[in-house]
Amino acid sequence: MYIEDLKKDFYNVIIGERLLLLVNFDIDSICACKILQYLFRCDNVVYTLVPIQGIKDLKNAYNENRSEVKYVLLINCGGNIDIVESLEPDDDVVFFVADNHRPTDVCNVYSNGQVRLLMQPTSDEGIPGFDDIFRDEESDDEEDGEEEDDDDDEGEDSEERVESARQKRMRMSEEAILKRREKRVWEESRRRILFEYTQFSYYGQSCSVLMFELAWKLSKDNHDLIWWAIVGATEQLILGKVENQHYVLESGNLQNHVSRLSHQSSADANAQNTGVKITFDKDLRLALYRHWTVEASIKHTMYTACKLKLWSLRGEKRLNELLAEMGLPLVQSRQKFSAMDLVLRKEFQTSLEKVSEKYGLSNIVYASFVLQYGFRSRFCAADVVYAMLALLEGTGKTKSASDCFLDALDCLSRSQKDILTGGIEKAKRLLECIFKQVQTSLDMSQVLSAGPFLYLVIQEGVLDSACFSNPHCLSLLASFALRAHVAISRSRRAPNLPLVISAPLDHAEGTCLILGIPPVSEDSPRNFFGKAFEQAAEKTNSRAVFDYFDTSCMQLKCEDRGKFFDALTSLLS
């Protein structure tokens, strides 16, 4: 069930109670968690925080803590699965769910109160009506041989009784046939309605924005909280989770809050916000350019790399022409942005805007937020997103997944600037790995057409292949590879074809990660691969694991990959 008032029906309910907080492994979830931690400290709410990566982690985390808690809050997880069926909780346990994954499971939507959804449905979600998907299970068989009054039957002839009974049985048989037919028609309609509802996966409002609005209603909002909400909303844009129009509307809403808080802090010199300034203005769609060299940033940004085809010698020549036309010497473009000549640094954005049309970079500018505190600390929201991605996906022998989660959580604190700076350095290496892999894939023509879709397989043993064993990094690689392929392809169909990408996951287990993304031509990032993967795996009996909350990502045995792709081709043809 959906709850209307977050303050009354959620926050006031958990105050004074022990809470289990289950947080998904993504940036929006971490930002929402950071806002909640601040609120919980203000009101002394006792909670247990457990980061989770999939449905298996969700079940394990709940079973380990089920005896201690009666209230569970799930951030960006659980909304698109039947929670009661999956976790089998006691009747008095209440689950609060804030999840941006869509579509929401209908059992959660129509829960009698054990599952309470904090997000609000939008008109385009098309949630099926209750009567279309649920009905009371009634016995189809009527009781035979109802007792009749002996006094009424005494005068009846035995032949009349036999005829009456025969006619009654015929009527009951006809009614039973009609009921079975009606039930079959209803079940077919139910399957069709549920398929239409669940065939596309997509994303709703950022959970960090939702939690900031809760803090605002509680009169506990400040500059740090609005910044964390901004980072969560920016992640959705960078990873292509929402369309550009959605981000424009959301950023306008956040800008109103930034203006209000800036006005309050200037009038009320709050010590906590002194020296903190958030600005909303035009910015360049270049990755980490304030912390990198201009040349490297332009080269490793997906948008500029695909427009200028920077993986080729001709593209590099075009980049040099662009820099020359901007009046930016190569010596200056190859040193760190902060060390560039002051005049060139100040004029960099306007210089690039002037030549953007000539080089096909019409969307190089977008509206973004910048946080500044102190004299030298200046970070764009996108910079923080890339840093957190690199920290979050830096799992390996040295660090556990939980440690990476906590690093990403800590880098949001202004007092932990060193962690953020380290994350930015890791993000540079990650973007370099992605660019090299795209360049290799194009040079070796590894992006192949299967007919209804394109596919790319990253083979075991490829340098830096371990970088892509995580869904977020693989998603960035898939988007870059698809756009780069479309940029050089002579086929008119290329912009209308989706991409399926595979990367090694666990060498010992012999598993790989499979991920699908929609075509470049699609404005709306709705993804149909979740259902398609399920059907292809079922058809071929492939050893697949659907553990991620994003249904367009799955694990598969490498041996089954060939027959799985064949089934997927047949299914989508």
pLDDT value of position 266: 66
Give me the amino acid identity at 133.
I
The mean pLDDT of 383-410, rounded to a whole number, is 85
**436 occurs within a structural domain:** no
pLDDT value of position 35: 96
**Residue 419 to residues 384, 416, 422, Cα–Cα distance (Å):** 11, 6, 5
pLDDT digits (tens, 9 = 90+) for 346-355: 999 999 999 9
pLDDT value of position 157: 65
pLDDT value of position 112: 86
The answer on pLDDT for 203 being more than 70 is yes
Angle 331-334-340 (CA atoms, 0-180°, nearest 5)?
75
Choose the final residue of a domain: 104, 124, 144.
124
Choose the final residue of a domain: 70, 93, 124.
124
Global model pTM greater than 0.85: yes
pLDDT value of position 7: 92
The tally of domains found in the chain comes to: 2
The answer on pLDDT for 325 being more than 70 is yes
Q: 16-25, 226-235, 362-371, 517-526: which has the minimum mean pLDDT?
A: 517-526
DSSP E strands in 47-134: the ranges are: 47-52, 71-75, 94-98, 101-102, 115-117
For the beta carbon of residue 15, count every other beta carbon within 10 angstroms. Answer: 12
**520 occurs within a structural domain:** yes
**385 occurs within a structural domain:** no
pLDDT value of position 153: 47
The answer on pLDDT for 150 being more than 60 is no
Omega before residue 103 within 30° of 0, cis: yes
Inter-axis angle of helices 401-410 and 381-392, nearest 10: 160
Task: Identify any residues that bridge with 2 across adjacent strands, giving them in sequence order.
Answer: 117
What is the span of the domain harbouring residue 31? 6-124
Please tell me the distance from the alpha carbon of residue 536 to that of residue 538, in angstroms, as a whole number: 5
pLDDT value of position 142: 44
Residue with more model confidence, 562 or 463? 562
pLDDT digits (tens, 9 = 90+) for 54-95: 999 999 999 999 888 999 999 999 899 999 999 999 989 999
**58 occurs within a structural domain:** yes
Task: Identify any residues that bridge with 117 across adjacent strands, giving them in sequence order.
Answer: 2, 97
pLDDT value of position 140: 44
pLDDT digits (tens, 9 = 90+) for 446-486: 999 999 999 999 988 777 778 888 899 999 999 999 999 99
CATH code of the domain covering residue 69: 3.90.1640.30
Terminal-to-terminal C-alpha distance of the chain? 38
pLDDT digits (tens, 9 = 90+) for 216-260: 999 999 999 999 999 999 999 999 999 989 999 999 999 999 999
Q: What is the dihedral of CA 557, 560, 562, 566, to 10 degrees?
A: -120
The answer on pLDDT for 155 being more than 70 is no
pLDDT value of position 506: 87
pLDDT digits (tens, 9 = 90+) for 91-141: 899 999 999 999 999 999 998 889 999 998 887 788 888 888 888 765 444
The mean pLDDT of 399-424, rounded to a whole number, is 91
pLDDT value of position 148: 42
Inter-axis angle of helices 417-443 and 471-488, nearest 10: 40
Mean pLDDT of the chain: 89
Sorted by sequence, the CB contacts under 8 Å of residue 515 that are 6+ apart come out as 471, 474, 475, 478, 500, 501, 502, 552, 553, 554
Nearest partner of 546 among 556, 554, 537, 538, judged by Cα: 554
**Hey, what are 293's tokens?**
């060299």
pLDDT value of position 137: 62
The mean pLDDT of 375-399, rounded to a whole number, is 83
The mean pLDDT of 416-439, rounded to a whole number, is 93
**268 occurs within a structural domain:** no
**244 occurs within a structural domain:** no
Q: In the structure, what pLDDT confidence band is assigned to residue 143 with cuts at 50, 70 and 90?
A: very low
pLDDT value of position 269: 53
**Hey, what are 163's tokens?**
């005829």
The answer on pLDDT for 550 being more than 70 is yes
The mean pLDDT of 307-316, rounded to a whole number, is 94
Q: 203-217, 312-326, 366-380, 538-552: which has the minimum mean pLDDT?
A: 366-380
Choose the final residue of a domain: 71, 96, 124.
124
**Hey, what are 249's tokens?**
């509307």
- Per the CB < 8 A criterion, the answer to whether 221 and 548 are in contact is no
Rg (CA), the chain: 29
pLDDT value of position 267: 62
**Hey, what are 512's tokens?**
């790989």
The answer on pLDDT for 319 being more than 90 is yes
**50 occurs within a structural domain:** yes
**552 occurs within a structural domain:** yes
Residue with more model confidence, 462 or 357? 357
Please tell me the distance from the alpha carbon of residue 383 to that of residue 424, in angstroms, as a whole number: 7
